[in-house]
């Protein structure tokens, strides 16, 4: 399968940002991409750098204007598109929602972000209600997609549950970057940890994985780009740069999942009879 990732900066004009995403979809499809992954909340600047009610004005329903435009692009190019929406579900009820548009343009499914951060520059708990749909892959023309969102990428349980539900590929729309006052060595550690933990999810589940991150300077952070794709043994197949818009297109051989799982049968050897403690917040001594 040919997989495309569209990494770009976001300015104050939502229409200009969406057009960057649409142009990236067209470029990726023109280079053979059957599936195109966009970054988290790609229609606007990342709103959660502060807790202020005015940023709710950027929210929209699903289906809605963004899914309509992405669906048109998916149908025009015959490619599956995974986008990201600041969803207004009801008055006072909002989600950080990944949307999957199938190759015929229809809305194939959604995933509402389950893990919601609340950290300096990332005050998402003010805006987003945790998802209530669980970890359910979305079936599309190119296969069953395990779509997760940004902060979810630090939690092995999320990737595992997607794999157990039959996901053939793990996908992470992302917005992550450096705080301005962090020293260079700490920045390097954070970025390396971000990529390493996701490569670990790929290895532990023998699944190819793609993470599409935004780039550019915004009030929240300097987003570090570095969008990447890795194979089922964590091998990096393609990686974008840090500081510029870039469209990656890479071939992913999904047949390798079967071959790798025959050599490393982690699903076979899981001790499901001994994991009861995972349902608790913490195991007191």
Give the Cα separation of 90 and 250 in Å (integer).
Answer: 38
Active-site residue set: 40, 113, 150
Q: How many CB atoms are located within 10 Å of the residue 243 CB?
A: 15
DSSP letter string over 113-168?
------BTTB-GGGT-PPPSS-S--EEETTEEEEE--GGGGG-HHHHHHHHHTT-S
CB 110 within 8 A of CB 93: no
Q: Which residues contact 232 (CB under 8 A, 6 or more apart)?
A: 202, 203, 205, 206, 207, 208, 256, 257, 260
Query: Which residues, 6 or more positions from 66, have their beta carbon under 8 angstroms from its beta carbon?
Result: 18, 43, 60, 83, 85, 99
Cis peptide preceding 63, ω within 30 of 0: yes
Q: How far apart are CA 49 and CA 52, in angstroms?
A: 9
Q: Which two tokens stand for residue 175?
A: 């917005």
DSSP three-state, residue 174 = strand
Place of tokens 């750098």: 49
- The helix/strand/coil state of 218 is coil
Region at 97 (left for phi over 0; alpha for psi -120 to 50; beta for the rest) = beta
Residues in the chain: 285
């Amino acid at each position: 399968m040919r997989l495309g990732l569209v990494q770009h900066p976001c300015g104050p004009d939502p229409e200009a940002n969406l057009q960057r995403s649409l142009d990236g979809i067209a470029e990726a499809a023109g280079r053979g991409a059957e599936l195109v992954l966009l970054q988290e909340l790609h229609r606007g600047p990342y709103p959660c750098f502060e807790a202020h009610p005015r940023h709710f004005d950027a929210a929209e329903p699903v289906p809605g204007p963004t899914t309509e435009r992405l669906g048109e692009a998916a149908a025009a190019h015959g490619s599956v598109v995974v986008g990201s929406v600041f969803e207004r579900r009801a008055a006072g009820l909002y989600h950080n929602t990944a949307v999957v548009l199938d190759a015929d343009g229809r809305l194939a499914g959604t995933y509402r972000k389950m893990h919601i951060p609340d950290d300096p520059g990332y005050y998402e708990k003010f805006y987003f209600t945790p998802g209530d749909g669980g970890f359910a892959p979305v079936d599309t023309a190119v296969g069953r997609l395990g779509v997760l969102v940004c902060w979810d990428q630090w939690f092995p349980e999320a990737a595992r549950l997607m794999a157990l539900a039959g996901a053939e590929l793990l996908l992470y729309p992302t917005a992550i970057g450096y705080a301005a006052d962090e020293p260079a060595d700490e920045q390097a550690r954070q970025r390396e940890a971000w990529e390493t933990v996701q490569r670990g999810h790929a290895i532990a589940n023998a699944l190819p994985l793609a993470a599409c991150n935004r780039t550019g300077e915004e009030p929240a952070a300097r987003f570090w780009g570095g969008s990447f794709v890795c194979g089922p043994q964590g091998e990096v197949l393609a990686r974008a740069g840090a500081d510029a818009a870039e469209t990656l297109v890479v071939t992913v051989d999904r047949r390798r999942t079967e071959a790798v799982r025959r050599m490393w049968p982690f699903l076979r050897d899981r001790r499901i009879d001994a994991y009861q403690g995972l349902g608790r917040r913490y195991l007191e001594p």
